[in-house]
Amino acid sequence: MLENSSCFSLLIAGRSVRSVHGFFRKSASLWLLTWVFSCRYPQNVSEEKTVFNKEFLLKKYQNFDSVFNKKFERLKINDNSNGLFAWALSYLMDSYVEMYQLTTDSTYLRKTAKYIRFILKNTDENKQKKDYKGRIRCGWGASKYTGDSLWVVYPVHTGMILYPMLKFACIVKNARGPVQAMYSSLADSVVSLAVRCMAELDGQWVWINSRREGYYRWEGDEPIKTNLQDPPPLNHHAALGKTLWRLWEVAGQSAVRQKAEGITRHFLNNVEKRKDKYVWGYRAELNKSHKIEDISHGAIEIELVVEAVRAGMIPQKELKGFAATLLHLKKNGYFANYVDGSEKYNNEEERTTTSMSAGRWLDLAQADCRVFESVLDVYTRILKNRDLKHPAEMLGVAKLLKWERHCR
Give the CA count within 13 Å in the CB-facing half-sphere of 356.
25
- Contact, 123 vs 138, CB < 8 A? yes
Under 8 Å between Cβ of 122 and 134? no
Q: Could you tell me if 116 and 182 are in contact, meaning their C-beta atoms sit under 8 angstroms apart?
A: no
Handedness of CA 87, 313, 205, 211 (dihedral sign): positive
Residue 61 lies in a domain: yes
Residue 1 lies in a domain: no
Give phi and psi for 43, each to the nearest 5: -65, -15
Residue ranges of the chain whose pLDDT lies below 70: 1-47
Residue range(s) defining the domain that contains residue 391:
6-407
- 298 inside domain: yes
Whichever domain contains 79, its CATH number is 1.50.10.10
Torsion sign, CA atoms 22, 265, 211, 17: negative
Question: Is residue 290 situated within a structural domain?
Answer: yes
Number of domains in the chain: 1
Residue 93 lies in a domain: yes
- CA–CA dist 17, 13 (Å, integer): 11
Is 389 within a domain?
yes
Cβ atoms of 287 and 28 within 8 Å: the answer is yes
Task: Determine, yes or no, domain membership for 253.
Answer: yes
pTM for the structure as a whole:
0.89
Residue 285 placed within a domain: yes
- Please report the pLDDT score of residue 47 as a whole number: 52
